[in-house]
Amino acid sequence: MDSNGKPRRVVITGVGPLTPIGIGLEPFWQGLRNAASAVGPVERFDPSPFKSRIAAEIRDFHPEDFLEARRVRRLDRYSQFAVAATRMALGDAELDWAREDSDRVGAMMGTALGGIASAEEQHARFVDGGTAAVNPALALMVFPGAASCNIAIEFGFTGPNATNGMSCASGTIAIGEAFRAVRRGDADVMVAGGAEAPLAPLSFGAFAIIRAMSTRNDDPGSASRPFDIGRDGFVMGEGAAVLILEERQRAVARGAPIYAEVVGFGTSNDAHHMTAPLPDGSQAARSIKMALADAAVAPSEVSYINAHGSSTPLNDPTEVSAIKRVFGDHAYRVALSGTKGYYGHALGASGAIEAAICALAIARGWLPPTVNLTTPDPACDLDLVTGSGRDLAPLITVSNSFGFGGINAALVFRHPDD
């Protein structure tokens, strides 16, 4: 509670994106404005055994730009992403972390697969050369909690710390839990987001085997196409995004840049199936309703939704059904983007990337388009943003994330001066 006995307000003061369309805030924003997909042929490994051979890779990431060389060797790529995105977000927030009370700064992160790529690589070394060939840091590289723990170690943050593994909703849940921590006074500043580096043969192949991914190998740039009648599965991506969540009064007092206010969070589970969503979308709808209720926001006040929009045959129309359940007739007046056409589906990082987009939409007055949407599915008949995007300054936005295991999560953001 604040000095007036009210729940503390939480604002976003820093954004650190690390994605296939741009590393850092301005390159990422320019990537969105370019309205082009970063999906291409897999180069990280030989994908020929699989029907799907495309992905959204980050090709110009140099971990030494963000970490000491000795640290780079001890961190899986997904942890490198997490630390790098945090460093960029802290810089963007103009936060001098060395001068902060470390007990009042924490980290909440999300990831679906953690350090699985390092596990695969080191297993191959073990088969070829025995234990002597294995990186001694392996056990510390693979566990999912390495993301938030390495952030804490790198920057000296001793406050609340956790990494959740709730599949494709992980980043959204991490931001939601960080929001709650600041609101109830457990911390003054929280680093929050998601990181994912799943592009390794076994993990990639596991999704290919269950036919969840697009096989549009001859035209990868158009493969991820949320809400389009021609969609045939998601495209795996990698990346990270970190937001700096800060108690509003202290952010204002230090003159911090403020993008948006986090005002609501809701989560639920379909309790239905590990891969298929509940067909009627009722639990996905409930997570959105919970977030709106938490925010004390009426559905009619929302003007933009960044959809989960995975580009899968089942998920997209189910999400539209959920939105209609929540918003009724207003659903047709809410602008909707599915942005995975840009950067693929970065699993546990996707929700964090899309939360960043919602905050930037509020701050900069522009909505990104649904890349590759040429013929909307008749079942997805909402106001889908297309073309080169839309000039609109939304006062209230919603970000949806739905994942394997039936997990649903939603966040609500408001203009900080509203």
**370 near 337, Cβ under 8 Å?**
yes
Tens of pLDDT, residues 162-218: 999 999 999 999 999 999 999 999 999 999 999 999 999 999 999 999 999 999 999
Burial letters for 75-103: b for 16+ Cβ neighbours within 10 Å, e otherwise? bbbbbbbbbbbbbbbbebbebebeebeee
**What pLDDT is stored for residue 363 in this prediction?**
98
- Give me the residues of the chain with pLDDT under 50, please: none
**What pLDDT is stored for residue 5 in this prediction?**
73
**283 near 409, Cβ under 8 Å?**
no
- The H or E element that residue 3 is part of is none
Check 168, 273, 330, 380 and give the catalytic one: 168
Check 123, 273, 345, 358 and give the catalytic one: 345
Distance CA 27, CA 19 (A): 9
- Strands (E) located in 165-226: 189-196
Distance CA 47, CA 275 (A): 23
Catalytic site residue 330? no
**261 near 98, Cβ under 8 Å?**
no
Side chain identity at 343, as an amino acid letter? Answer: Y
Chain centroid offset of residue 342 CA: 13
Side chain identity at 151, as an amino acid letter? Answer: I
**412 near 397, Cβ under 8 Å?**
yes
Half-sphere exposure of residue 63, counting CA atoms within 13 Å on the CB side?
Answer: 18
Distance CA 393, CA 396 (A): 9
Check 308, 330, 358, 380 and give the catalytic one: 308
Catalytic site residue 168? yes
Distance CA 323, CA 40 (A): 31
- Domains with residue ranges and CATH for the chain: 10-253 (3.40.47.10), 265-414 (3.40.47.10)
Give me the helix-helix angle, 25-34 and 350-364, nearest 10°: 80
**What pLDDT is stored for residue 3 in this prediction?**
65
